[in-house]
């Protein structure tokens, strides 16, 4: 028997379609056996499969083309936005977060990250950086991110995907990222996730909060800052971060891009 599944594609961290980080949200209950195949078919950085469980609550499964994730940033924002304006409690394997959506965008609280210092050398070499001021592994929501803070420009990085994957595996990290301070309220970030089948990510909400906290500690940047990411891929993202040690929030604008039906 054929199964029809409605879906929407939305661009997160952008106020216009065909920019930002694209996300596929499958709106109808999807058989578990085909979730990974649907994510491979769409071949975006992530696809989500939410199920509304109550008034303002839902559970979600999150897939890349190669793996299921316990939590992720731009999929959380995009999923809540597709479900409708209001306050949502989202539960995934990585925990429960609150997402508030309106007509133009969404903002979410994030699990409090735990930081562990790391040796910057391997990441510096893998990304092709001339150097880094520090390296740290941030863990939150079941995800681990290796973050390198640098004063070097990031526009012309030439990472070695195999080396980046090896560094990520050694750190037991899902992503390897570089961050540079542009001014007290602006950070430039690039994020690479070859272990998840994503060579480079256009806009990574799950690492944005930890990066905002690290930037405050290292450079004294503002509690409210903007992360610029994805321009090198032709998918510019603006990620708004509230980097309070007591409560980290991440958000941005969203734009509808496409909708349709899977017939399986």
Q: Check if the beta carbon of residue 261 is closer than 8 Å to that of residue 7.
A: yes
93 part of the active site = no
Which one of 46, 68, 232, 259 is the catalytic residue? 46
Which DSSP category does 233 fall into?
A: G
Give the separation between CA 240 and CA 208, rounded to whole angstroms.
Answer: 8
Q: Give the three-state DSSP class for 30.
A: coil
Nearest residue to 251 via CA among 214, 212, 219: 212
Half-sphere exposure (CA, 13 Å, Cβ side) for 33? 2
Extract the tokens encoding 77. Answer: 């924002």
Half-sphere exposure (CA, 13 Å, Cβ side) for 39? 23
CB atoms under 10 Å from CB of 227, counted, come to: 28
Q: Length of the chain in residues, anyone?
A: 264
Give the separation between CA 128 and CA 148, rounded to whole angstroms.
Answer: 12
Extract the tokens encoding 245. Answer: 């040690």
Extract the tokens encoding 131. Answer: 């150097």
Q: Which residues are catalytic?
A: 46
């Amino acid at each position: 028997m054929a199964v029809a599944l409605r879906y929407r594609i939305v661009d997160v961290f952008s106020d216009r379609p065909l920019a930002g980080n694209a996300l596929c949200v499958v709106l109808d209950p999807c058989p578990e056996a085909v979730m990974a195949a649907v994510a491979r078919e769409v071949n975006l950085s992530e696809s989500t499969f939410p199920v509304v469980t109550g008034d303002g609550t839902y559970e979600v499964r999150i897939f890349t083309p190669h793996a299921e994730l316990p939590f992720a940033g731009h999929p959380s924002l995009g999923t809540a936005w597709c479900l409708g304006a209001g306050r949502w409690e989202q539960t995934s394997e990585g925990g429960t977060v609150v997402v508030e959506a309106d007509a133009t965008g969404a903002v979410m609280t994030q699990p409090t990250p735990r930081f562990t210092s790391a040796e910057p050398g391997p990441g510096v070499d893998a990304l092709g950086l001339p150097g880094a001021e520090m390296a740290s592994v941030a863990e939150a929501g079941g995800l681990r991110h290796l973050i390198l803070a640098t004063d070097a420009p990031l526009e012309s990085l030439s990472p070695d995907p195999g080396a980046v994957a090896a560094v990520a595996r050694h750190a037991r990290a899902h992503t390897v990222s570089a961050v540079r301070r542009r001014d007290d309220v602006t950070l430039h970030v690039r994020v690479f996730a070859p272990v998840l089948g994503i060579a480079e990510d256009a806009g990574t909400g799950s690492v944005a909060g930890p990066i905002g906290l690290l930037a405050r500690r290292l450079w004294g940047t503002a509690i409210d800052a903007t992360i610029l990411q994805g321009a090198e891929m032709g998918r510019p993202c603006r990620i708004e971060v509230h980097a309070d040690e007591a409560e980290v929030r991440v958000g941005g604008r969203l734009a509808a891009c496409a909708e349709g039906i899977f017939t399986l």
